[in-house]
Amino acid sequence: MPQPIPIRSVHHIARTTRRLEASRRFYRDVLGFREIERPPFSFGGAWLYNYGVQIHLIEDPQAPHPTENISTRADHLALHVDDIEEAKRLLQAHGIPYRENLQTATGVLQLFFQDPDGHHVELGTYPPTPPFLDQAAPPSA
């Protein structure tokens, strides 16, 4: 069997959006990403960066619509915060509805909410990554 691809890190996460300006404000003002230079593509969008990862917003009239159902099992972007109570306070201050979920197996309190296009986001204060099941070291980059 061939070796796995030697991935070094996550570079970016792409999010389609019907509401470019609202999404730009959300990722900048609520989640703390900062806008960076983006090539002059033939379609609208924005690139933002912080926490070692880029968010690429791609304007697309077919992007999902937000729903009133905040799901804990939908595809989502999970971000680590050091103070979940402060995160709750700030979500409330920004007027962002969220759903709390206590992960009983780990004791992690998770906050789930949506960006302006309905993409789910999770916040939590996570424990260290558990050991590898096969006890082998991961491939190095």
Q: Residue 119: pLDDT above 80?
A: yes
Looking at residue 67, what is its pLDDT? Answer: 84
Looking at residue 60, what is its pLDDT? Answer: 96
Instruction: Dump pLDDT digits (tens) for 24-36.
Output: 999 999 999 999 9
Give me the architecture of the 12-124 domain, per CATH.
Roll (3.10)
DSSP 78-108: EEE-S-HHHHHHHHHHTT---EEEEETTTTE
CA dihedral 26, 29, 31, 33 (to 10 degrees): 100
Q: Residue 52: pLDDT above 90?
A: yes
Please state, in angstroms and rounded to a whole number, the distance separating the CA atoms of residues 76 and 1: 31
